[in-house]
Structure 1
Amino acid sequence: MSHETTTPTRFSAVRQYPIDLAAVSIVAVIAYVVVTSYAEGSVLRLLATFPLALFLPGYALVSVLFPAAERTSRQPRTAGGDPAAPHRPSGYVRGIDWLERLGLSFAISLAIVPLVGIALPFTQWGLTTEPIAASLVIITVVLAQLGVVRRLRTPKPERFIGSPLESLSQLRRDESAVATASSIVLVLAVGLAVGALLVAFLAPLSTGGFTELALYGEDDDGDLVAGEIDDEIEAGDSVTATVSIDNQEGEETDYSVVIQEQVLEDDSVEERTDLEELETTLDDGTTGTDELTVTPTADEGETVRMSVLLYSDEVPDEPTNENADEDTYFWVTLE
């Protein structure tokens, strides 16, 4: 008489593959594609960056460290009333439930990302978007596969099952009020952390763009350097500087620049003289520079402030540092 025997098949191995770790690996790869495909400031790029940097690597590492599930059932008691020590197979590792796993995933991810940022500058790739994203994906996928091996080697009754619904049902069956309360607190803490991180990632979108204004002078080699503008000239002579406008407003913008000579007494402007006005239009993400040559009208021996006032709307009747969108200045003493 012959007996049928069952042998493991590739299909059965696939069926046992943890669905949560498969999802972690797939989502990490998709996030990498999105992060490296969309321009900086894109909503999709920000949404993909969030799980890739703040959740997936930590979840994968937690799966390696804790392949077993939290046991909530009562232990059997001996005849004397003491809990019997349960039989634990060799290699058994106490597990954690879904709520603890989520909390640790965020915390560990926040520790992994800075390590990547410290290591990459010492490599040939440098600290740019693509190497950072690629490093996080590699770390996540490798750790997830190690987590798969660890989990499949854990006895099935003790093995963590990637099902939040099953964990919630266990939570309802748990008779410990303290355990239930602590789990609820953990859920709230994780929710607040996720909400705060989402706000931090998305807040720049709601604040709109920005414009940077800067002044430069030339050094002995003819290079533009901040702080190299002449601060002492002969009365009647001109002073030269280079004004730089960086448009990061998210759209093409018209700019007006007013160069104003100001006489100050006790930190208060007593006299203003508009010397020159420039207009330019810059595409988003571009920087425009222009050389200014202005001649102060103050008398010999006076020190005046030369203010550069930038406006993206119409120039007011009386331009001031206070009503300018951006302003910068340098001091000149007339000898």
Structure 2
Amino acid sequence: MAGNRQSPLDLLLVAGLVILTDIFILVPALSGSFLRTIFGLLLVLFLPGYALIGALLPAKKDIDGIERALLSLGLSIAVVPLMGLGMNYTDWGIREVPVLTGLSIFTIFMCGAAYYRRRQLPEAEAFEVPVKASISALKTDLLGETRGENRSGADRAISMLLVISILASLGSLAYVIGNPREGEAFTEFYILGPDRIAENYPTNYTLGDSGTVVVGITNHEYRTVDYTMEIRLENRSLPLPENQKYVNLDRDVSWKEPVTFTPPFEGKNMKLEFLLFNETEKSVPYRNVHLWINVTKEV
């Protein structure tokens, strides 16, 4: 009967891994662990596709285990960029927490759909991962108890060596992933037009009018950095709110905000500079961008 059916261990494992990934990414005390990287790779490269395949193909006869695993990888690689593309056109943008939230909700929802579709099939036809059978086969192989016959010590030693080699390889992979070599340290600093695209910058003003551009900063310095931003018109500083003048960013975090300024004097082809200073050098700009603007008197 349906009430006596075993719980889908594979779907429970997928949902559990999603929750663990969320914990290791969102909890500051755990976010520095190499497990964060491993769980993150699983969430990006495998779990969404596996859950989606489970919902689309719930029966054993649909595809075998190897095909299911390969399709899980391929579908994950397809789903994640599409989700990122969609988020790029929302107010959330492609940032860590929104992407994590979207992938987590999608994967758990697909797990629920896969569970529902399997329940509609007879138990013998619904796909399941034969965990107990696999463990039993592994124990039999390692202990040499194959169909009542004892395997030789050499066979058992080879099997043990193979298992140890696989575990060692996985451990080495985990270490390499968790301790990547740091690339070049740098900071992105850019300005966008009012529509948040790299065009339609306000360049013509009437004296007394204000202009707005979107300023973006992304920290790729592999550490937390205290930035100081300054706007200068013809080398004359313009006022900025404190929360825009001083920006603190953790590693791999972005800041993108509209910045409003008012040119205080008239002139043609004047250089409007946006300067970014880091915490180690306060006199020389670390990054800078500029616009050429015209300011005229009101007629």
TM-score (normalised: structure 1): 0.46
| Greater C-alpha radius of gyration | 1
Normalised TM-score (structure 2): 0.50
